Homo-oligomer: A and B are copies of this chain.
């Protein structure tokens, strides 16, 4: 499985790592209060009490900070998913839990705070690196569950694995991608149950 790295790799030492974390934490707070779009690096520097030049020592741009916040948010979702499916005995139930957790965690993290949604939305629209890594990770989780279900005899084995996994990912996508989920929020709680059942019917041996 691919792994999303919550903090972008840095060749600097642990002290620098702490400063980076401090900037990200303060930026998350600041963006959620005043919005990502409207905040400049100068605003951020002023709010944190650092100089703008000092922030630029650690991040090339506002987007670079946004990418770390985005990666942290997506990695909170994948952690929640991993927890939700760990120890669940059947592949069918793992698939249901995967979909349910993705919908619930995405709705909570992207929309509970409309101001952070601006980051999620820019990230999805411009396909930032953490978004691509996240999508790959979810595809891998789907593929893994399908493989396990094929092995245990729960799922059919005729369809090429790639095709099966990609089809399932496409069904889930409108409830994961924040740009699509914003138009699906009212529907999501009911839809993921019905769509999980449809997916499981498509996997029947």
Contacts and interface: CB of A to CB of B under 8 A. Distances in A.
Q: Quick one: copies of this chain in the complex? A: 2
A167 interface: yes
A194 B172 CA distance: 13
Given A164-B198, A167-B194, A170-B187, 10 more contacts: A167-B198, A168-B198, A170-B198, A173-B174, A198-B199, A198-B202, A199-B202, A201-B201, A201-B202, A202-B202
A163 B173 CA distance: 21
- Classify the interface of chain A: helix, strand, loop or mixed: helix
B180 A195 contact: no
Interface in A160-189: 163-164, 166-168, 170-171, 173-174, 177, 179-180, 183-184, 187
A187 B202 CA distance: 21
A174 B180 contact: yes
